[in-house]
Structure 1
């Protein structure tokens, strides 16, 4: 019989894997086809979400060793490494490559555009970001930061600071803060209804959790608010966590005005609340970046529960951890 600590660990691992793999699967399903023979190819959204996950581990390592709050510039540096392997010119903002994620060939392939992120990287200097324009409110303000829900120390204020580096629209910031909070709640909740209780009085959501409106009306645009509304609506329509119902919900994301905005949010929320076992195995088998996303999920849990790289007062348990996730 599994001990209580082992059971809690297994549940945590299943939920975190569900969040990250669900995000990637929702992204790929929204972008591709669902034929049994076809590969599911994740887009730039998943690529950058992977680098967010790496940045979270690095910030965690730094905090454990330095005893200070999260160094948010680590997040910007992660995106700079992504830009470099993509061959995107950053001028004076170029960066040396370290860690392991930059070595993954699939993350170096062009899988769509992230103009707000690229513009922000080109306008800033090193780890210092320039203020993003107030007109920038695309769904990447939210979808790229969902892995941050795994880190309990990443506060709403931290999320606002991270968003402000790439997206300046106030409503995008609000959607990101709420979206990360809902994903964090999903990781710890027993059911979708517990998560949806947090949505009832949220002006950004406007009652979409119980609405019977078509998804194309609930989530009509590419913006972060629309992405959040669509993701919550699909979570509400999938109270059971069977692979068949989750499959149906992910495919339903294609009915949104901009499927690429809704798919990652819906997948992350569904995977977080129902666990990795709720994700259709045949779809995961066809997901091109499944192994790297799953590795990041497992490493996030390891950093949270085990501190493989040690801390200011404890020796490292894994001598290679610091080279995998340099804390700076």
Structure 2
């Protein structure tokens, strides 16, 4: 979709798209080394405050991202290469190649040629298995989808921020994200939570205050059958944020984030209690220091606050060691170029992003 923007608006839009992608990657990399640890174990290893910045993983590496960031990048590619459910599914199949192959084996577009993406970082079972099934198309909202119909894992939410970047409105972002979530997860809570998250991202990227964006997404969500689990989780996050005094124990009262509505609720809570442009460190640290799916809650929180404040709000010292930073930046620039309708006419764009 081509959107004409003034130079100033285009620069702000680019900053928010880049901020969301890099912010999500930062939260992902921050939480990855402690993803499967309890808060007691985290405190024993890192002190009462838990992790206070990027830490090495079990192999001594700092700044490595997981499947959360990998799949988010392929979501962006799917939007550029068609923007519909089949194109996004094809992009996820290219992501699946990165989990099965040692490196690029054939030309499949520019993103699939990035060797660093060929790394298996604890990918979700439903994401992996779901892509091995045939997919005739999504079910009507409220019904169980055809693939993994009982699964509502957080793999739907953690990859869905990009649906909010180029949509014409929040409803379009919601609906496309929810339909594409059914590619791997058929439970209504799983795909409706993804839709709500995409709507939030769209609204903050368009300039809405965070609280208004959360409410706007909740209003859209409430109009769909089988919304109750996700709506209840979001209301709990908002009420908890109003109480102040954030802590890992309060985070854990919202769940473990292994399922979609809990991951969304925790990320929203952490963003709401630390909403300012100078608060991103605190928000991400709160989002990962808990006994749950730390990389996913960090990623979703970073996606949301990065879209709200833009890339200049991100901690530069954390960015220094972030895996794939150059690729992420180039992809964000390409997405903005695509939405502005300024792609090259010499054939290079089609080689970079062949149509599916």
TM-score by length of structure 1 reads 0.83
Q: Shift in Å at residue 196 of structure 1?
A: 3.8
Partner of 1:73: 86
Does 2:96 align with 1:83? yes
Distance 1:162 1:200 in 2: 19
1:116·1:136 contact (CA, 8 Å) conserved in 2?
A: yes
Q: 2:289 aligns with which of 228, 251, 255?
A: 255
1:228-250 deviation digits (Å, cap 9, x = unpaired): 101110111122101xx211111
1:27·1:43 contact (CA, 8 Å) conserved in 2?
A: yes
2:196·2:218 contact (CA, 8 Å) conserved in 1?
A: no
Gaps of 5+ in 2: 34-50, 139-144, 220-230
Does 2:235 align with 1:206? yes
Gaps of 5+ in 1: 60-69, 90-94, 310-315
Q: 1:141 aligns with which of 156, 159, 181?
A: 156
Q: 2:129 aligns with which of 106, 109, 119?
A: 119
Q: 2:194 aligns with which of 176, 196, 216?
A: 176
Does 2:177 align with 1:159? yes
Paired residue total: 300
- Residues 1:206 and 1:157: Cα distance change in structure 2 (over 3 Å): same
Q: Shift in Å at residue 111 of structure 1?
A: 1.5
Partner of 2:28: 27
1:186·1:272 contact (CA, 8 Å) conserved in 2?
A: yes
Partner of 1:56: 79
Q: Shift in Å at residue 43 of structure 1?
A: 0.4
Does 2:289 align with 1:289? no
Q: 1:307 aligns with which of 320, 342, 345?
A: 342
- Residues 1:204 and 1:307: Cα distance change in structure 2 (over 3 Å): farther
Partner of 2:13: 12
Partner of 1:66: none
1:124-160 deviation digits (Å, cap 9, x = unpaired): 27x8789212221111111112111112155433322
Q: 1:185 aligns with which of 190, 203, 212?
A: 203
Q: Shift in Å at residue 190 of structure 1?
A: 5.0
- Residues 1:18 and 1:307: Cα distance change in structure 2 (over 3 Å): same
Distance 1:258 1:71 in 2: 29
Distance 2:17 2:72 in 1: 14
1:150·1:184 contact (CA, 8 Å) conserved in 2?
A: yes
Partner of 2:40: none
Q: Shift in Å at residue 194 of structure 1?
A: 3.3
Partner of 1:67: none
Distance 2:267 2:150 in 1: 23
Q: 2:65 aligns with which of 22, 42, 46?
A: 42
Partner of 1:92: none
Distance 2:126 2:348 in 1: 34
What value does the CA root-mean-square deviation take over the aligned residues?
Answer: 2.5
Distance 1:271 1:186 in 2: 9
Does 2:251 align with 1:225? no
TM-score by length of structure 2 reads 0.77
Structure 2 counterpart SS, 1:308: coil
Q: Shift in Å at residue 110 of structure 1?
A: 1.4
1:182-236 deviation digits (Å, cap 9, x = unpaired): 0111101253343244367644412412414711112423111011101110111
Partner of 2:310: 275
2:236·2:265 contact (CA, 8 Å) conserved in 1?
A: no
Distance 1:158 1:128 in 2: 12
